[in-house]
Structure 1
Amino acid sequence: MISVNPILVSIVIYLVLTLLVSRFAANRAGGDEDFSRKYFLGGQFMGGGVLALSLVATYTSASSFIGGPGAAYTFGLGWVLLAVIQVPVVMLTLGVLGPRLWTLAKESKAVTILDIFRDRYHSKALLWLAGMSLVAGFLGMIVVQFTSGARLLNVMVGMSYANGLFLFVGTVVVYTLWGGFRAVSYTDAIQGLIMLAGMVALLLGVLAHGGGMANLTSQMASIDPGLVQPHGAGGFMSWPFLFSFWILVCFGTIGLPHTVLRVMAAKDGKAIARAMVLGTAVTALVTFLPHLIGALGRPLVPELSSPDEIMPTLMLRLFSPWVAGLLLAAPIAAIMSSVDSMLLQATSTLVNDLAIRNYSLSEGQQKWLTRVITIVVAGVCTLLALNPPQMIIWLNMAAFGALQVVFLWPLVLGLFWPAASSQAALASMVLGLAFYLPQTFLKIKIFGLHAIVSSLLASLLAFLLVQVICAGKKRE
């Protein structure tokens, strides 16, 4: 008699459906564009709904469904309030950058964010620094996502860590290669819906088993009164911490390359406007729900060895294996929708920005090189994920913040300040990294603030100072 693991079967069905969606998306790709634009951007095809869901799914990662709920489990409802700081992300990204960036991408036929920088600044040094930062940052973040996906399969299914890693990576690589950016965007949109549906079902299950919100919060207060207070258990969340968190996960994300690319692929201005409203609503739900579930899970599962296990543990304890397998699709979707975008952009930087721009390659050579680089990048990240460094979570946060200090001001000021020079943008990148990396790895906090605050401020001041100097020299 063959034993069937219902959770594993549900997961495999979900992964197969993901591949079918990617194949469908690939078949819809237009044939009148060159390979790099069709594969790495897919054309300007996204309507408001797809743009909103794809943008939210890309921004939402393992931290939103594993680390975030784990923190809410530890610190209580205060962390739930902290998490909703992220809600304006879509509104800020589309509202600040949307119309101007979309117009520029259409006029210049830009495929990547480095194409925007190339057309705006005409500086090889800036492009190399931005390109190296993007690839290095995404490599670290991809390793974290691969590790999270493998660990999730290991905990939920009992699959070995290595087998779970290979299954997860294999699926992501196949559908990314299959259809490029268009396939990634459509699968991300579907995954956004799955995240939302899964979290609604899990919250209802938690409330039903816990006797309602009032009963659960009462039990939380009896465990530790700080769990139901704004600043969390032990007053952990100070005002400097709150301000730092807002900068890191909300304001600073305006310039993240993998979210900016979605704006460039919008169909038109109306799609951007619709996506602002829908995306903000979806962000509110997929941010609020998992963190609330993590906090309310404290009375239901008080004996966890690791807070990060709260979501998969609740799925296994509150539902049948078949339903738990379906719910598991939500965190898997969150991880996949982030890692596919990072993998595609790391590849596009190496292929489109470094190879195609500098060498004359036929379309066949471009396709071959793209497939090889994608597999190589995924392979390197897989090897690192097989034995991830102990400080991998800090590497992830370091990469997240480093991308912000490199891209935020050169992108925003470059779009809206016609006089902004390449020298100012390059100085902004260099000084921002010089401030950020030492503070991050040496755990230095100026006035109790996260390194991202002083680093973005230093980056901005460097931009303005060098710009003034350059303007003065031109007048002379």
Structure 2
Amino acid sequence: MTSLLPVLVYLALSLLITRVWSARQAKRSQQFCDDKAKRFFIGGAFLGGPLLALTLVATYTSAGSFIGGPGAAYKFGLGWVWLAVIQVPVVMLTLGVLGPKFLAQKKRYSTIIEWLDQRYSNHWLSIIAMLSLVVGFIAMIAVQFIGGARLLSGVTGISYELGLTIFVLTVLAYTLTGGFRAVVLTDALQGIVMLLGLFILLVVILNQPQLGALLAQTTLESPELISPHGVGNALGWPMMLSFWVLICFGTMGLPHTIVRLLAVKDTKSLKRGMIWGTIICFLMTLIPHLCGFLGRVLFPELAIPDEIMPTLIAQLMTPFWAGILLAAPIAAVMSSVDSMLLQSAVSIVRDGMVRAYPSMSATWQVRLTQVVMVVITALACFWAINPPDMIVWINLAAFGALQAVFLWPIIAGLFWPSVSGRSALFAMCSGMVSYLSLQLQIPLQAGIHPIVPALLISLMMLIISHCGERLCISRTLKAK
């Protein structure tokens, strides 16, 4: 239990520091000062360059990157490290392509659903978007809970159930007492902790005296570990290219990254965020996956690949320093959970209950949001009680589902003014149905991830519906 104390101290200190910090920053912000609910949900246009970069990358970096990703690199070899680095341009795409469009919006929105509703004015589109967001986020939150509990259990020696309980209670303490501004500032602090912890872990691994000899022996016995296509040729070019769509291009459709664009301060912040975010994303992607691959050399007999990061921390560090280093992956998981938990709860309250009861006071909106957070946490915790051996597939499946629903409606809403809510609804539904249907087809057809055909089908339905509507309008005008 010695190594658990530094983690608990870190969590308590980060909670205290970020809440004091966010309270001071909120007093300086004049925007939304007359609306308590909006202050809690979005916090105003306050994101500058470095803060934007840290919160965006910290939110995108999760248990999938610190637990599932290294576990996949442990199993498939260096090819998975190469596969993961494909996602590095994600910040440039999100901030460079979508950022200026959202920044140019005359009205400031609290949620992505609120923006979709304003843009398309389609009741069913808003409902399906809200339900998809909440279900997808619950699945992803469950993955984060599994990752956090495995970290605590693997490093400190406590049971998985106790680790899950500690992690869930910490998540609630972080999200219930803050709001969006506090979540963002927490993400920024935890992003810094992540980087420091990753550098320390990599240095410790590289300083192992037997690493060079073991690496030469392992690659000689299993040359597929250093092949670009991975063990068993599982990572062929179709999979590589389709994964670029899933973990890079398609991330422009992830609501928990898009919501950051609703709080960007100005154009200068976008430009600085692109530079800093790309550098940070590269480091946070490369180092943990490389640690997972090198862990295969040091600990080749693990039955569960996802245990490699906890094993590295526990086996290569003293108990006290293992607890210190554990703060880095815990921060990665926390920074994703708080964002998704807050946004899913806000969507239910702001985009669901408030629409049904427009006269609901701001105080009640905040209170109901906190109640919904507890309910969502309980559901995700229930799903996390019996975890699978590898969480990376669940995380990627949820990623793809959200992208299939949101990507084209978001892009069309920003860049194609004539697209109607009906066409966006067709794209949303066809993307969701096709992705879920293809996701059940195991093994993958031709080694292509289901996100590629799902997005193609969604785009095709959007274009067909839009062209059909324009043709009908044209014929109606001619008839008159």
TM-score range relative to shorter protein = over 0.9
- Percent identity, aligned pairs only, is 50
1:467 matched to 2:466? The reply is: yes
Contact 1:82 1:242 in 2 (8 A): yes
Choose 354-363 or 84-93, whichever is displaced more. 354-363
Q: 1:324 is matched with which residue?
A: 322
**In the TM superposition, what are the counterparts of 1:416-435 in structure 2 within 5 Å?**
416-435=415-434
Q: 2:396 is matched with which residue?
A: 397
Equivalent position to 2:18, from 18, 22, 37: 22
Deviation per residue, 1:409-446 (Å, 9 max, x gap) = 00011101111111110010111112110111232634
Q: 2:478 is matched with which residue?
A: none
1:84 matched to 2:92? The reply is: no
Q: 2:282 is matched with which residue?
A: 284
1:253 matched to 2:254? The reply is: no
Kindly state the Cα deviation for residue 327 of structure 1 after the two structures are TM-superposed.
1.1
**In the TM superposition, what are the counterparts of 1:54-133 in structure 2 within 5 Å?**
54-104=55-105, 107-133=106-132
Look up the SS of the partner of 2:356 in the other structure. Answer: coil
Kindly state the Cα deviation for residue 21 of structure 1 after the two structures are TM-superposed.
2.7
Q: Structure 2: which 5+ runs fail to align? A: 476-480
Kindly state the Cα deviation for residue 121 of structure 1 after the two structures are TM-superposed.
0.4
Change (3 A) 1:274 1:138: same
One-letter amino acid of the structure 2 residue matched with residue 58 of structure 1: T
**In the TM superposition, what are the counterparts of 1:239-388 in structure 2 within 5 Å?**
239-359=237-357, 360-388=359-387
Query: What is the TM-score of this pair, normalised by structure 1?
Result: 0.95
Choose 179-188 or 139-148, whichever is displaced more. 139-148
One-letter amino acid of the structure 2 residue matched with residue 86 of structure 1: Q
1:41 matched to 2:42? The reply is: yes
Kindly state the Cα deviation for residue 232 of structure 1 after the two structures are TM-superposed.
1.9
Kindly state the Cα deviation for residue 296 of structure 1 after the two structures are TM-superposed.
1.5
Q: 1:157 is matched with which residue?
A: 156
The structure 1 segments of at least 4 consecutive aligned residues displaced by more than 6 Å after TM superposition are 389-392
Contact 1:108 1:119 in 2 (8 A): no
Q: Structure 1: which 5+ runs fail to align? A: none
Contact 2:304 2:389 in 1 (8 A): no
One-letter amino acid of the structure 2 residue matched with residue 347 of structure 1: A
Contact 1:210 1:216 in 2 (8 A): no
Deviation per residue, 1:77-97 (Å, 9 max, x gap) = 221111100101111110110
Contact 1:58 1:337 in 2 (8 A): yes
Q: 2:409 is matched with which residue?
A: 410
Q: 1:142 is matched with which residue?
A: 141
Kindly state the Cα deviation for residue 18 of structure 1 after the two structures are TM-superposed.
2.2
For the residues of structure 1 that align with 2:402 and 2:117, how far apart are their CA atoms?
A: 18
Query: What is the TM-score of this pair, normalised by structure 2?
Result: 0.94
Look up the SS of the partner of 2:228 in the other structure. Answer: coil
Kindly state the Cα deviation for residue 467 of structure 1 after the two structures are TM-superposed.
0.5
Contact 1:398 1:437 in 2 (8 A): no
Kindly state the Cα deviation for residue 153 of structure 1 after the two structures are TM-superposed.
1.1
> How many residue pairs get matched?
469
Contact 2:202 2:291 in 1 (8 A): yes
Kindly state the Cα deviation for residue 329 of structure 1 after the two structures are TM-superposed.
1.0
Contact 1:36 1:111 in 2 (8 A): no
For the residues of structure 1 that align with 2:215 and 2:314, how far apart are their CA atoms?
A: 22
